[in-house]
Amino acid sequence: MSLTDATRPTDVSLNTDLYELTMAQGFWESGLVDAEACFTVFFRDAPFDGGYAIACGTGQIADLVENFRYTDEDIAYLGSIQAPGGGALFKPAFLEWLGGFAMDVDVWAVPEGQVVFPREPLVRVQGPMAACQLIETALLNLVNFQTLVATKTARVVQAAEGHAVSDFGLRRAQGPDGGLAVARASYVGGASSTSNCLAGKIYGIPVFGTHAHSWVMAFPSELEAFRAFARTSPKNCVLLVDTYDVHQGVANAITVAKEMEAAGERLAAVRIDSGDLAKLSKFARRAFDEAGLPYVRVSASNDLDEYTIQSLFAQGAPIDSFGVGTKLATCDPQPSLGGVYKLSAVRKAGESSWRPTMKLSEVAYKRTIPGIQQVARFYDEAGCPVGDVIYDETMPQATPSAAVDVMDAETTYDFAGYECQDLLVPVVRGGVRAGEAPTLEESKRACKDALMHLDPAVRRFLNPQVYPVGIEAELSRLRQRLVREERTAQRA
Ligand SMILES: Nc1ncnc2c1ncn2[C@@H]1O[C@H](COP(=O)(O)OP(=O)(O)OP(=O)(O)O)[C@@H](O)[C@H]1O
Ligand SMILES: O=P(O)(O)OC[C@H]1O[C@H](OP(=O)(O)OP(=O)(O)O)[C@H](O)[C@@H]1O
Ligand SMILES: O=C(O)c1cccnc1
C-alpha cells in the first residue's frame, strides 16, 4: 500500500503553503507558466551534529505526483478565498486552468536508505515552472521529516549494536500523520518493528507490543496480573516488571515463567521501564540465569536515545532489545531537517539550453549550486564510498572525478580511478512513475548496507569526520562566474 491509500488524494494538492498557489497564478498570468524549471532539494547541515543522513520519503514521491490534481471541491474552496485587501484571491480563468492541471514533471531522487550528505541534491524536479513551484511544500514535507527520522533511527540502531529496536513513539508523535511517517521512516532506518498498528496495516511493517503498567495495576496483585497475561498471550508474553519494584517483579516473572514451562509455553522477555537500567538489567539477567531460564530476554525502555543506549552497553548492561518512543518520534534534540527546494536552472519555452541560476546571498553558507545536478558517488575496491561529486548532467565537458570542496574552494579532490555511480535515479517521467519504487524491505536492506560500508569515522556521534563532497571543476567555475557576474550587475 502507498500514500495513495493512506491519505485521500484530494488532500495532496492543497497540502501546501498558500504562496505556491499565488505564485502559480503569477506564472500563469505573466506567460511563464510553461517556461521550464529545474529545482533541487538539499539540506545544509547533517542532523544531530552527525556526519550523514539517511534519505527517506523519496519512495513516496511518485504517489505524490500522480495524485497531485485539483478536484472541483478544491477549486471551489480556492475560489472562496478572499484577498486581505478585498476581492477573490484567485482569478476564475486561473482556477479554470488549475482544474485541468496535471503535475507533468520529471523527478530524480536518491533511493530510500542511501546515505546522503549536506549540499548534495536529494531530489531534482524538472518541468513547467508552475508545476515545479506547486509541488515544493508537499515534497519538502514528505522528504524532510522522514529523512530526519530515518537518520535518528540509524543512530539509535547503531548504538543498539545489532539488538532489536522497536518504534514506541506513536503517542508522542506529531499527530496521526506524523506517527505513520515515524513508523515508516524508522523501519527504513533500521527499527525492527513498530507498536503502530495502522503503520503495520498500511506499510506491512512488523508490529510488536508488550503491556502497560495499567495491566498490572488492574489486578489485585502483580503475580495475578502476570499469570493473566501469560494466559491471554502465551505466544507473545513480555512482562513489564517495574510497576512496583523490579526485584519483586523479576521474582514474580520467574514464578510465571516456571508455570508457563509446566504448561509447555515460554516466557519471552521482561521489560524494565524505569530506574537504573544497567543495574536492573544485570540483576534480571542473573536472576533468570540462576533460575534456569536463560532464554528469557531482557528488554528496556524509558526515554531512551542513542546516547543512553551507548552508555548502557558501556556499563555492561545485558539488554537484548529496546523500545524507543519519545526521543525517536520527536527526533530529539533536533525536531526538523532544514531541507530546502531551490531553483537551479530555467529554460524559456522553445529554447534548447538551460540558464543556470543560483541564490547568491550575503552569506556564503546560503549560496546555492546552479545547474542540472546529479551526484557521482565514488567507491573504493571494498565498495566503500570515498567521496561524492555534484556535477551538471548537461555539461559535455564535465569530469566528475575532479572537484572542488563544496564549502572550501581551497580543497580539491581527484577521484580518478575509483568506481563511480550516479546517486539520483528517475522516479517520475512526465508525471507518471518511472517504475515501481523499492519495497520498504529493500530500502531497509539498502540502508543497512550503506551504513556498513560508510567510514566509522563519519558515523561516530562525537565530532564525526566530514565526508568529502565536491562540486565538479567545470560546475564550480560556472558557479564562480555567476557570482562575479551577479556582483558586477549589482554594482552597475
Ligand atoms: N544506567 C543508566 N545509565 C544512563 N542512563 C540511564 C541509566 N538508567 C536509566 N537511564 C536513563 O535515565 C533517565 C531517567 O531515568 P529514571 O528512571 O531515573 O527517571 P524517570 O524517567 O523519572 O523514571 P520514571 O519513568 O519512573 O518516571 C531515562 O532517560 C533513562 O533511560
Ligand atoms: O519512554 P519512551 O521512549 O517514550 O517509550 C515509550 C514509553 O511509553 C510508555 O510509557 P509512558 O511514557 O506512556 O508512561 P511512563 O513514562 O509512565 O512509563 C512506555 O512504558 C515507555 O516508557
Ligand atoms: O508495547 C509496548 O510495550 C509499548 C508501546 C508503546 C509505548 N510504550 C510501550
Q: Is 310 in the pocket of ligand 1 (CB under 6 A)?
A: no
Q: Is 267 in the pocket of ligand 2 (CB under 6 A)?
A: no
Give the full edge-to-edge strand order of the sheet including 106-109: 355-356, 340-347, 36-42, 123-128, 106-109, 425-429, 432-433
> Do 130 and 255 belong together in one domain?
no
**What is the predicted pLDDT for the residue at 365?**
84
> Do 26 and 142 belong together in one domain?
yes
Average pLDDT over residues 463-481: 97
Q: What ipTM was assigned to the predicted interfaces of this complex?
A: 0.96
CB atoms within 10 A of CB 139: 28
Grid coordinates representing 371? 545547474
Residue 357: CATH number of its domain: 3.20.140.10
Atom of ligand 2 nearest to the CA of 324: 3
Q: Which residue has a Cα nearest atom 7 of ligand 3?
A: 168
> Do 339 and 441 belong together in one domain?
yes
**What is the predicted pLDDT for the residue at 489?**
82
Work out the mean pLDDT of the chain and round it to a whole number: 96
Is the pLDDT score of 90 beyond 70?
yes
Look at residues 276, 299, 322 and tell me which one is the last residue of a structural domain: 299
Atom of ligand 1 nearest to the CA of 302: 31
How many Å apart are CA 59 and CA 481, to the nearest integer? 36
DSSP 251-262: HHHHHHHHHHHH
In a domain, 307, yes or no: no
**What is the predicted pLDDT for the residue at 375?**
98
Separation of CA 211 and ligand 3 centre (Å): 7
Look at residues 299, 315, 347 and tell me which one is the last residue of a structural domain: 299
- Which-ligand-closest: CA of 309? 1
Give 337's Cβ-side CA count (13 Å radius): 34
Q: Which residue has a Cα nearest atom 24 of ligand 1?
A: 274
Q: Is 114 in the pocket of ligand 3 (CB under 6 A)?
A: no
Using alpha carbons only, give the angle 325, 327, 331 rounded to the nearest 5 degrees.
120
Average pLDDT over residues 429-456: 97
Q: Is 311 in the pocket of ligand 1 (CB under 6 A)?
A: yes
Give 91's Cβ-side CA count (13 Å radius): 10
> Do 445 and 367 belong together in one domain?
yes
Confidence band for 6, pLDDT divided at 50, 70 and 90: low
Best residue among 167, 214, 301, 324 to mutate for probing ligand 3's pocket (most ligand atoms within 8 Å of CB) is 301
How many Å apart are CA 388 and CA 111, to the nearest integer? 15
Provide the residue range defining the domain that includes 244.
210-299
Express as a percent the part of the chain with pLDDT over 90: 92
Q: Is 173 in the pocket of ligand 1 (CB under 6 A)?
A: no
Choose the weakest-confidence range: 163-167, 312-316, 350-354: 350-354
How many Å apart are CA 107 and CA 87, to the nearest integer? 37
Is the pLDDT score of 4 beyond 50?
no
**What is the predicted pLDDT for the residue at 283?**
99
In a domain, 185, yes or no: no
In a domain, 171, yes or no: no
Mind listing the pLDDT tens digit for each residue in 245-267?
999 999 999 999 999 999 999 99
> Do 61 and 142 belong together in one domain?
yes
> Do 141 and 273 belong together in one domain?
no
**What is the predicted pLDDT for the residue at 34?**
81
**What is the predicted pLDDT for the residue at 445?**
98
Separation of CA 304 and ligand 3 centre (Å): 13
Choose the weakest-confidence range: 4-8, 67-71, 165-169: 4-8
> Do 345 and 482 belong together in one domain?
yes
Separation of CA 323 and ligand 3 centre (Å): 7
Q: Which residue has a Cα nearest atom 20 of ligand 2?
A: 273
Mind listing the pLDDT tens digit for each residue in 16-62?
999 999 999 999 999 888 899 999 999 999 999 999 999 999 999 99
Express as a percent the part of the chain with pLDDT over 70: 98
| Contact between residue 126 and residue 343 where contact means Cβ atoms under 8 Å apart | no
Q: Is 322 in the pocket of ligand 3 (CB under 6 A)?
A: no
| Contact between residue 258 and residue 270 where contact means Cβ atoms under 8 Å apart | no
How many Å apart are CA 337 and CA 151, to the nearest integer? 10
Separation of CA 51 and ligand 1 centre (Å): 28
Is the pLDDT score of 281 beyond 70?
yes
Q: Is 215 in the pocket of ligand 3 (CB under 6 A)?
A: no
Separation of CA 308 and ligand 1 centre (Å): 9
Is the pLDDT score of 352 beyond 60?
yes
Residue 275: CATH number of its domain: 3.20.20.70
In a domain, 402, yes or no: yes
> Do 295 and 342 belong together in one domain?
no
> Do 372 and 268 belong together in one domain?
no
**What is the predicted pLDDT for the residue at 490?**
78
Q: Is 332 in the pocket of ligand 2 (CB under 6 A)?
A: no
In a domain, 318, yes or no: no
In a domain, 6, yes or no: no
Look at residues 251, 272, 299 and tell me which one is the last residue of a structural domain: 299
- Which-ligand-closest: CA of 229? 3
**What is the predicted pLDDT for the residue at 403?**
98
Is the pLDDT score of 7 beyond 70?
no
> Do 145 and 27 belong together in one domain?
yes
> Do 236 and 374 belong together in one domain?
no
Number of separate domains in the chain = 2
Q: Is 300 in the pocket of ligand 1 (CB under 6 A)?
A: no
Q: Is 179 in the pocket of ligand 3 (CB under 6 A)?
A: no
Mind listing the pLDDT tens digit for each residue in 108-158?
999 999 999 999 999 999 999 999 999 999 999 999 999 999 999 999 999
Q: Is 325 in the pocket of ligand 2 (CB under 6 A)?
A: yes
> Do 340 and 485 belong together in one domain?
yes
**What is the predicted pLDDT for the residue at 364?**
81
Atom of ligand 3 nearest to the CA of 195: 5
Choose the weakest-confidence range: 57-66, 272-281, 355-364, 475-484: 355-364
Best residue among 210, 214, 299, 302 to mutate for probing ligand 2's pocket (most ligand atoms within 8 Å of CB) is 302
Mind listing the pLDDT tens digit for each residue in 382-413?
999 999 999 999 999 899 999 999 999 999 99
